[in-house]
Structure formats: structure tokens, C-alpha cells
Structure 1
């Protein structure tokens, strides 16, 4: 992690002394801050963090200090929220205060200041979200129905015929579909150069854009003035991201423009935008929106679908119940479609549980307060970094007893209906910064999960001796997480549907 790398560098004593003097000039607050661990001079609570999985530290602190806690990282105030109720009270109901983002200088220094997620609250953000709303609102997202179905059907055949890495196939599916919807052309599997560059950008971003890493530049603003050789590869990565960002912003967008000029452009978010725009179209904003839709979509969808398949292996009873629901509602020789969604509440509950069981972004995205606030008698200062700990929300035993168990029934009423809409899931965030692509994500995830369950049985793989290979829910670390590689097997359980898919995909 970027933070642990910097802390291990042994910054000269003179720098530490200057920073320590700066940290001693603290503002006097009119009310007590939320309870939290006692900070050390200079470092605050930085040395107590699990830098690979900070959400575990924040969750452990919550068990000691309560649902809202205060910590200090190198002089920056952090307010950690470990309760969905408090998150809705503050970030939803007081969104005028909780709609900014922390200043993450690494985002700007690395050429990623186009990143919608990290934009400060203001006019540029409003332009981004206006376009997101136009192209990814509920009605617009449904209009890509044919693309969802075609790619989900292709995923089923790929999984059935595959012996290769599961993550590779899931990511290729997500990349191909999102590229088709966003830019109108196929991703051509994991060999697509655009995907390789996006993956590289995402991996670097995970290292340098966390709020904990951002505290480094807040505490030591002069660091950005020093030569990169002082800090090794961590800072040198920023030059690479600047180059990648420009390539990814411009090349696929310009390709769509060329296709439109030639009259060969298929339908896509970018093509729809350019068709509807007048001569004053804000192309720079659309480039950023298109790329962020791609980056955000591929990370979230790949993680969630891997978690879905992991859960189906580990909980065959859940898998059997979801398949039985599909077979009861959908004709034996027909594939489920989005029109069937209201009649398949248990499948909807499965997807709710996927996002709860292992939220793709365990800490979500940090907020920053635009003014002072008071909650429960505690003072929340202007400029504080506010983190809604998705991991703690997902492991709240008061709401989710035996929280480590995958149980979709948590999300059903007594009469078997969904308690809430998928797009209201806490994993999509809160308030004015809630994920604008949540309808798009729901349609992609639902279509893929329905297609897999309608045709395939997901089971443990077997070794060369025929013995079952055990699987454990182990995850990567970082701002977004994925299941670590695991093996499973796929068996067709509906020959009629499989044959229909192979005929449609023109494969044997």
C-alpha cells in the first residue's frame, strides 16, 4: 500500500519536526469530537491502521467506541460511520454538508482529475452527473436489454466450455459488455489493448488514491515538489497514469467520432450523446463520463459476479432454490429476461446478499464536510474526511445475524417479497454522491446471474484423484476487492436452454 510504503521510508527528522509543529496547532472545537482511539503525536492513529484492510481496523474500533468514531491520520480528522442509520441521517438527510470529497492530490498529480468519483462538489461535478443521468438513468439503462442478454448468454457458453481462470472470463464478459454499451465495439476478450490499459490504471489507482494515502500529501504538501527518485516506484507510477489517462480518454472516444462520420457507428452511450448534442457539446466531460462508466462498471461487476459464483459453490441450497424459482416462472426452453424480474424475488435477494456479503468497495468512497455539523452531541468539523464503512454495515449483527453466512432470505419479507429495491443498496453509496450507474449495474448483474442459474449448476471442482477441491471465501485487498482465485465446475442442467443458446451464439 502507498501509505505503508511512505511511512517506511524514514523521512528525515527535520521534516518530521516541521510536521509535528504543524500538528500541534489544533483548532479548538465547541463540542467533543466522536469517541475514538487516542492519537500519537505527529502520526495520529496512522500506525494503528491495517494498511491493507483498513476497514477491519475501523470495524474493530467501532466495537470499542461506538457506531460513529473519530480518528486522526497525520493531522487529518477522520469520522468513521459504522451504521447505516447514521449514514442515512448524515449523508442522505444532510447531503448539503456531506457532498464534497477529500482533496487527494495524488489524483491530480497522476492526471486522473477527470475522475467523477473524486471531483469536488461544484459545477464540474453537476455537469458530469447530468450526463450520467441522461445516459444511465433507469429508462435508458433498460434500453440496452438486447446487449445484456447477448453477452450473458455468451458468458454461459464460455463458462460451460472453459477450463481456464474464472476471473479472466468474468472480467472479459464485463469488459466486452461495458465496452459495447459505452463505446459501441466489442472488447475482444482480455487481449483488447484498451482493457489492458484500464486494468493497469485501476491497479495503480488502488495504490495511490485511498484517503489514508491522501493524508500523506495533506501532512507533507512539499512532498510533491521533491524529485521522484526520493520515493522510489510509488511516485514514479504517477507519470505512467498521466500517459494512460490521456490515451484512455481520447482514443476510444475519437474512434466513435470517426465511425459516426463514416455512418458505421453502432448505438452506444457516446454515440447517443453525440447524436443529441449541439455544436457546443462538452466533449471533455463526455470523455470523462464514458471512461469512468467503464472503469467503475468493470471493477464492480467483475467483483460482484465472482462473489456470486463463489456463493453458489459454497451454498448449493441457495443455488438450488434460486434455480427452482426460475424454472417455476420461466418456460423450460426459454431464457429468463428482465421482464421476469418482478416474478423472481429470491433471485433479487441473492444479488442483494452478494453486495452485502462482500461489498466490492469495503470503505466506499470518502466524503468531506462542507461545513461544521453536530450529531448526537458530537462535533463534526468542516473539512473532515467522512468514511462510511461498508464492511461494518455488512457485518452489523443487529441487522444481519450470523453475518458471515450467505443468506438471501435476509432481504425478503414474510410473504417472500423483496424488502427494498436493489438500487437502494448501501453498497451504491449515499446522498448526492450515490452511484449514478446503479440501474445499469443491476441490469447487468441480474441478467448474468439469471442466465447462469437457468442453464448451469455451479459446483466444486475436482482434482486429478476425483476429490473435491475445497473453496474458502478469501479476498484481495485495496480500495476495491475481489475473491482470490478459486476453482469450480460448471454442468449444464437444462439441455433445451443450452441448445437454444448455442444456436443463438452459433457455437456447437
Structure 2
């Protein structure tokens, strides 16, 4: 027994040393890589990184090394982009090279390999996006006005009832909207087992799917063969993640089948799929798309609504101006609707500023290069992980002076009109061929919630038992989604 343990340790050490030598071997390129911090052999810059808030580290490096930076973690090349113009040049204009995703082993180990966001660029991804396009394209998203209004009204009542945790009512709003479209799920109140399980899955996933977290499994592939009990922290939850994935993929999908058999089904993406027997997709694909519509939107939209509420509390002048605009445009006996949106540019500017001020996914979703490329005299190798640091974009003082301040007027012209009419181009929705397919649905649902809240409620500080105002200090969670 003892000799077997020694052999196992020796084997692991040997594998580690071989991997270290292989990954630390100097590679020769025809041009220099972008500048970046000097790293250690094999480890690269792993020890220099704030693993909880890597976007802050990358932004700090940008002040020293420039808008495009090279970094490495355990032998994995990474390019960090801290400029929107560079992101547009590479990911939009050269999308044929920059549309792949890095292989993230924790994705597969956790049972999340159905994840549309992380699929490699190819036919399966096109099938997913085609199905998303059916219900989330611009024309379809505008047609959901009655549904937006109905759920926004429920959001108001839930906000009025809440005493401390604002996550439940805002999460219920985004969850109920998405599930209505995907599964025809008509009620998803603040206490819902599906929402609770999906949130548990998201809490696990947001800590497992970053390139920084996955680097260890890429550097040491043998780790994927170890049982889950060998890991600690977030990694130990990979087994629970697999269990949740199977429940969430199958149970709501099968419920739609039961409703169809009983004649009680309502219109939804899944019901349309099952009734039309789509030729280009199988049930597994449909299950993945339906669940991804939910998990891909709920955290980001809920985060955005939280930031909106915080901004309205901390900047009462902005809240007052947005409400005054609504009162001027919308008759007092009516609620604002999507039809009023062109006449409410300041409210649109508020939404743009919410996404700018605290982008919900501070590092976006990593891309990967399918070929070598050259930019600005620097070499970008094939297989490089490319990250757009949305946090750095949001704090670029050349583009957004006094960037830490919440100021919607930065998105308006001198005469009060929007500078950019194309909101879906906002960097928070990503870039290139991997831009968020649900961006029209997201912007319409967020705008409707914000308009309804401002039309009905006044957001102010809570008071203590003596009537004194309780001050609020903004605190943002870490992980893939803030």
C-alpha cells in the first residue's frame, strides 16, 4: 500500500515536471507579442493576478503596457484588449479569425458543455443561434410589449413588498419573462423551485467557467480524470453542477410535452419546436437553447436592474430628470410602453449608462483565434485566448471623462438626442459573430422595467429607527457576472 502511494506521488510529480518543461519552453514568433508583465517560468502571470477581480489587474496593466496586452497563465497565451476601437477592429472586422472560443475543461466536467456561449465556432453554434433568432430577433422582441408590461407591473408589486433583498423581485421579473418566451411558463413568482435551482447552477458556473479558473485543467489534463471529491472550493461543486444541468435541461422541456398532450400548452419556443418538428435540430439542441435562453439572460439582466436601482438611489438628480421626462411624454393615466421609447431619449441614456457604469460581465466572454494574426506590429498566435476587458472600456477616460461618475448625458448630444441610435452595439453585448443573440429582448425588457419603476415608484434611502437616512456604499460581487 505504502509503495503504491509513493508510486502515485512520483508519477504525479513526473507529469507535473514534464508539463512545466513543455509549457515553459520558449516559442519563437516572426514578430513580437504585445507587451505585458514579465512572468515566471510555467506559472506565467498567475501569481500577479487578482483572481477574484482580474479585470482590475488587467486594467492596471493597461496603464503600464498599453491598450493591448499579452499575458500567460500556466502556458496559455492570453491577449487582453483594453480599448473598444481595438476590440471592434479585431473581433468585428476580423471575425473570421476571432469567433472561436477557448476550450474550457471545467465547462465539460461540470456538465455545462451544452452552453451556447462556449460552443466552438461551427455548425452546432449556427443551429443554436438560428433557434434563438426565431424568438429573440429585433422584430419578435418588440412584439412582446403586452408581456413586458404585465411582468413589469408584477415587479412593481413585488418591489413594494420587499423588505431587504432586492434580488428576488428583480430576478423573478427577468426569469418570468424569459421562461414565458422559451417554455410558455406563465408564473414564476419570487419562490420558484426552477428559479432556485437555476440560480444555484449559475452561482457554481460563474466561478468555474473563466479562462483563469480553467487554466489548471488545461495545463494538467490528468486532473479531469480525478473524482470530484479530490477538489476543494468551487471545483468541488462540479458534481452538483452536472446533476442540476440534467434536471434543468429535461424537466421544463418535458412539462411542455405533457401540456401539449393535454391540450393546455401556451405559445413558446419549445412548443413551436415540438409542433413543427424542426428538421435542422434535434431535441437535445432544443433543450440546450431553451435552457441557455434562461441562464444566459437572468444573471446579466438581474445585475443590470440592481445597478439601475443603486444608481437611482445614489444620483437622485438623474432619477428626477428621468421621471420628469416620462411625465412630460406619457399621459398620467397611462404607463410608458415601447411605443414611447423614441420620445424618451434621456431614459435610453440612463439604460446605456447603467450598462457602461458597471458592465455585468466585466471580462465579457473570451474569444480564441483560429489563425495567426498581426495587429499594430504585434504577433497574435493561433489558439490565443482573447479577452475584451469591458471594465477597462467602461473606465476609459479618453472616451468617458470622469468615468466613475454615473452620468447619462455622456450618451446625449447637446440638443438632448442620443448620440448612437443603435443600442445593440453597446460593448456589454459582446463583439463580432459571438454578439449576444438576445440583445434586443434584453434591452426592451430592461427599458420597460426601468420605465415602469420610474413612472410609479420613488427610490430613496431607507431610514433607521430614529428616522435618520441609512447611507449606502456600493459593493459589487465577484465572478464572471458582477
Q: Does the TM-score normalized on the shorter chain lie above 0.5?
A: yes
CA distance in 2, matches of 1:456, 1:293: 29
CA distance in 2, matches of 1:450, 1:233: 41
1:26-67 alpha-carbon deviations (Å, 9 max, x no partner)? 331100000000011121000000000000000000000000
Residue 417 of structure 2 is matched in structure 1 by: 417
- Residues 139-154 of structure 1 mapped to structure 2, 5 A cutoff: 139-154=139-154
Residue 459 of structure 1 is matched in structure 2 by: 460
Residue 169 of structure 1 is matched in structure 2 by: 169
CA distance in 2, matches of 1:273, 1:423: 27
1:89 aligns with 2:89: yes
Is this contact kept in 1: 2:127–2:281, CA < 8 A? no
Give TM-score scaled by structure 1 length: 0.90
Deviation (angstroms), 1:393: 0.2
CA distance in 1, matches of 2:31, 2:142: 49
CA distance in 2, matches of 1:453, 1:234: 38
- Residues 1-16 of structure 1 mapped to structure 2, 5 A cutoff: 14-16=14-16
Is this contact kept in 1: 2:311–2:406, CA < 8 A? yes
- Residues 38-437 of structure 1 mapped to structure 2, 5 A cutoff: 38-232=38-232, 234-278=234-278, 281-420=281-420, 421-437=422-438
Deviation (angstroms), 1:351: 0.2
SS at match of 2:213: helix
Deviation (angstroms), 1:234: 4.2
Gaps of 5+ in 1: 1-10, 482-508
CA distance in 2, matches of 1:279, 1:126: 14
CA distance in 1, matches of 2:15, 2:190: 45
Question: Structure 1 residues 12, 190: CA separation in 2 closer, same or farther (over 3 Å shift)?
Answer: farther
CA distance in 1, matches of 2:475, 2:278: 50
Residue 476 of structure 1 is matched in structure 2 by: 477
Q: Which moved more, 1:349-358 or 1:469-478?
A: 469-478
Deviation (angstroms), 1:229: 3.4
Residue 494 of structure 1 is matched in structure 2 by: none
Question: Structure 1 residues 371, 409: CA separation in 2 closer, same or farther (over 3 Å shift)?
Answer: same
Residue 6 of structure 1 is matched in structure 2 by: none
Gaps of 5+ in 2: 1-10
Is this contact kept in 2: 1:175–1:187, CA < 8 A? no
CA distance in 2, matches of 1:359, 1:441: 14
1:265-288 alpha-carbon deviations (Å, 9 max, x no partner)? 112222233334447752211111
Question: Structure 1 residues 278, 49: CA separation in 2 closer, same or farther (over 3 Å shift)?
Answer: closer
Deviation (angstroms), 1:372: 0.2
SS at match of 2:441: helix
Give TM-score scaled by structure 2 length: 0.95
Is this contact kept in 2: 1:100–1:120, CA < 8 A? yes
CA distance in 2, matches of 1:47, 1:436: 36
CA distance in 2, matches of 1:281, 1:103: 24
Residue 8 of structure 2 is matched in structure 1 by: none
Deviation (angstroms), 1:18: 2.4
Q: Which moved more, 1:231-240 or 1:458-467?
A: 231-240
Question: Structure 1 residues 59, 233: CA separation in 2 closer, same or farther (over 3 Å shift)?
Answer: closer
1:199-232 alpha-carbon deviations (Å, 9 max, x no partner)? 1111111121111012111111111123333323
Deviation (angstroms), 1:168: 1.7
CA distance in 1, matches of 2:309, 2:466: 24
SS at match of 1:320: helix
Deviation (angstroms), 1:75: 0.1
Question: Structure 1 residues 213, 471: CA separation in 2 closer, same or farther (over 3 Å shift)?
Answer: same
SS at match of 1:459: coil
CA distance in 2, matches of 1:149, 1:292: 24
Deviation (angstroms), 1:15: 4.7
1:36 aligns with 2:42: no
CA distance in 2, matches of 1:289, 1:280: 13
Aligned residues: 471
1:241-299 alpha-carbon deviations (Å, 9 max, x no partner)? 11111111111011112212222111222223333444775221111111011011111
CA distance in 1, matches of 2:442, 2:280: 30
Deviation (angstroms), 1:14: 4.2
Q: Which moved more, 1:437-446 or 1:15-24?
A: 15-24
Question: Structure 1 residues 155, 227: CA separation in 2 closer, same or farther (over 3 Å shift)?
Answer: closer
SS at match of 2:117: helix
1:410-439 alpha-carbon deviations (Å, 9 max, x no partner)? 111222111222211000000000000000
CA distance in 2, matches of 1:277, 1:346: 45
SS at match of 2:413: coil
CA distance in 2, matches of 1:31, 1:340: 53
Deviation (angstroms), 1:334: 0.7
CA distance in 1, matches of 2:346, 2:279: 48
CA distance in 2, matches of 1:77, 1:392: 20
Q: Which moved more, 1:198-207 or 1:68-77?
A: 198-207
Is this contact kept in 1: 2:201–2:241, CA < 8 A? yes
CA distance in 1, matches of 2:133, 2:189: 29
